[in-house]
Amino acid sequence: MRFSTREVVDLGAAWLALGVAFALFLDRGLAFGLLWGDLAVARAVEPLLVSMFTVGVGFLLHELAHKVVAVRFGQLAEFRADYGMLALAIGAGLAGFLFAAPGAVYHGGRPITKRQVGLIALAGPATNVVLAGVFAPLLVLPSLGTVGQLGVTINLILAGFNMIPFGPLDGRKVLGWSTVIFAVSFVICAGLAVLALLFVGTGF
């Protein structure tokens, strides 16, 4: 698995920007402090670290899963950040809206089948579901409850959202491969996302 210098920079920038955007969205006190110029650095450290460790890691491993599967199928694959969208995500978080379109893994090379395209796409949401399971045990630890709540909820939302069969989202590629696999995957991912929102929450 190889990463170009540009890809590493793009992944790092997207990880940081999403961490900032979600920290501002989830912690309105942080956003208001920044807007009014009354924000102590120490006040921002915890929500930023929690956001980067949960949202950021969820995004990072989602994209790396696409890359790993694409490379396994003989494709050249690299992540490219969309810096305009990253700036918009931070602005939206500051304004109290949730928006994230950080970029994508682009792959190409020899022709591949619809099944392979579908599996590359499905790898991202599947990784988020697995990550939600990794964060779930933290829910019972008082000192890490917020991390567990946000890790579970955000990863399941990422999985459910990305399975929507629209535009560049993963669901459209999975649907293009198999209606049955798309239907099962969508029901699982969307259903888990709804359950997480209803019964787990974010902890903020």
Report the C-alpha gap between 58 and 182 in whole angstroms.
Answer: 21
Q: Which of 7, 46, 63, 78 is catalytic?
A: 63
Lowest mean pLDDT among 6-20, 55-69, 94-108, 119-133: 94-108
> Catalytic residue at 46?
no
pLDDT digits (tens, 9 = 90+) for 130-186: 999 999 999 888 778 789 999 999 999 999 999 999 988 999 999 999 999 999 999
Look at residue 22 in the predicted model and tell me its pLDDT: 86
pLDDT at position 37, please?
58
Question: Which comes out higher in pLDDT, residue 193 or 30?
Answer: 193
Q: Residues 193, 159: contact at Cβ < 8 Å?
A: yes
Distance between CA atoms of residues 90 and 100, nearest Å? 9
Q: What confidence score (pLDDT) does residue 31 get?
A: 57
Q: Is the pLDDT of residue 38 over 60?
A: no
- Burial class (CB within 10 angstroms; exposed 0-12, middle 13-18, buried 19+) of 3: middle
CA atoms of 5 and 93, how far apart (whole Å) = 28
